[in-house]
Chains A and B, each alone.
Chain A
Amino acid sequence: MDQILANEYGTILSGVGITLALTVFGFLGALLLGTVVAICRVSPITPLRAVGTAYVEFFRNIPLLSLLILIVFGLPKIGILFSLFWSGVIGLVLSGAAFVCETVRSGINTVSIGQSEASRALGMTFVQQLRLIILPQAFRTMVQPLVNVFIGVLIGSSLCAAVGVAELTNMAQQLNIQYAEAVFLFMLSGGIYLVLALGAGSVGGWVERKVGRSRTVAKGATR
């Protein structure tokens, strides 16, 4: 075990790095795309709403592994080729965005309808209304669900191992072939995932407290 750690810490670290990169790119992309899809789903343009709904229903219900296999092995057959890493990121973004969209939409629904009416009474456009009034308030209730999406992306990133991306799970499997220390390697990588997930949870809790505090300050300010 010590020998593995001594010889292979570079390999292990690169696995952790790739897992982190997959997760961060995947989550940020999902955040962006998911918010856009959510805005589509509340927009006044009917076909845009339909496209948004179709997107969510498809990507929420397709198993991630199936999506990754389609991207990694399927797309090259029709002449679209991405590197393994970016294929993984694309899969995580596409599936994560469906969950982000539903989170954002539920968040929008928690903001009182009077806020939307008031901003319209002030003559704001649809986009202004969302950007300045609705989304900032919706964000408060979205922190915890977004942390869960983040952890979902983190755990999902391990499926990239099944299509050959050399991330943490894949690294554990490779080193196991070499050293045959399965229990140690899988416990180690499991522990790393656990730490990352718990870390994300506590960052989320911190953000939530921060946002909550800003709300009480704002309340005091209006008095």
Chain B
Amino acid sequence: MSATTATRVLFDEPGPRGRRVILLSSLAVLLVTVGLVVLAVRQFAINGQLEPQMWDFFLYPAIILFLGQGLAGTFLTTLTAAVIAFPFGLLLALGRLAPNGFVSRVSTGWIEFFRSIPMLLVVYFFLLALPRFGVVLPVFWMLTVSMILVSSASTAEVFRAGIKAVEKGQWEAAASLGMADSLALRLVILPQAFRIVLPNLLTGLVSLLKDSTLGFVVSYSELMQQGKSLSSYYGYLIQTYLVIAVIYVVINWALTRLAHYLQARGSTKAAASKVAAQKLATAQMAE
């Protein structure tokens, strides 16, 4: 998903009447927004969900520590999955682009399969099916391996788009210098492709972080699972899940911002030609 491109202006500088209309509509929008917020808070209040102890609760050091442990688990599983899934994805992308028909078909099949099936199903496979054959993974790996399988497919597509976004002339120039395809790939194409896909890899990291919430299903103590324990013990259900949702949104938002920043910086560099930028935009939309 690309969101960097500043939306162009689809309206003219307004005249006196237009300014009045805009001012009035702005006020109306503000009123409606404030109204909705008031309504939501009132809904909390009349159902007794606004009691101070229900919210102060999240300032207790023990509770912060408990959620912090969950966050550490989330980061551990996300980073482990990323460290394995990203190189694996690159391999799959190279496999899909390989001239060898068999390698290409197997990679394509793998990618299409894991892109089209829900991760929950993969998790259930490790949680419920494998134990029948006496293979019981620790919960950390049940979650992480599922994340790796699913992420490897989407990362492969990111890398493939990146490799294809490198200009054809780069291949030709490398060939004219006498480089074999494999050498050209390693020295010329991949370094440029990496720069192009870096923002998209961050987006992939956001997806992994979201996927890690399935720890809730296998009872691996990541943030979501800690929330489950906390709310079933103390019962502040909506408060706990709201706090956790906000934590996720803030982390993912920061990562997305970073991706946009890198993308904006990358596109100002002359190296990324207009063609490459366009191709990448298409690839991002396709993502």
Contacts and interface: CB of A to CB of B under 8 A. Distances in A.
A144 B121 CA distance: 25
Interface stretch (A1-9, A25-33, A64-72, A211-219): A64-72
B202 interface: no
Contacts of A70: 238, 241-242, 245
B49 A67 contact: no
Given A41-B7, A116-B10, A60 B128 contact: no
Interface in B115-144: 115-121, 124-125, 128-129, 132
A58 B25 contact: no
Contact of B116 (A75, A151, A157, A183): A151
Q: How large is the interface on A (under 10, 10 to 19, 20 to 34, 35 or more residues)?
A: 35 or more
Contacts of B237: 73-74, 77
Contacts of B216: 65, 69, 162
User: Mostly helix, strand, loop or mixed at chain A's interface?
Assistant: helix
A103 B112 CA distance: 22
A66 B120 contact: no
A182 B118 contact: no
Contacts of A66: 213, 224, 241, 244-245, 248
Contacts of A178: none
A24 interface: no
A109 B29 CA distance: 25
Interface string A92-127: 000000010011011011000100100010000010
A162 B120 contact: yes
A10 interface: no
Contacts of B113: 190, 194
Contacts of B214: 65, 162
A78 interface: yes
Interface in B238-287: 238, 241-242, 244-245, 248-249, 252-253, 256, 281, 284-287
Interface string B187-231: 000000000000000000010011101101100000010000000
Interface residues of B, number: 61
A220 interface: no
B128 to A, nearest CB: 5
A190 B2 CA distance: 29
Given A60-B1, A109-B8, A162-B217, A47 B33 contact: yes
Contact of B224 (A45, A65, A75): A65
Contacts of B29: 45, 47-48, 51
Nearest to A189: B121
A46 B14 CA distance: 13
Q: Which of A75, A151, A169 has the most CB of B within 10 A?
A: A169
Nearest to B215: A65
A-B CB proximity, top 8 nearest: A158-B118, A182-B129, A197-B116, A61-B252, A74-B238, A63-B210, A145-B285, A47-B29
6 contacts: A43-B11, A61-B252, A67-B245, A78-B44, A142-B285, A151-B116
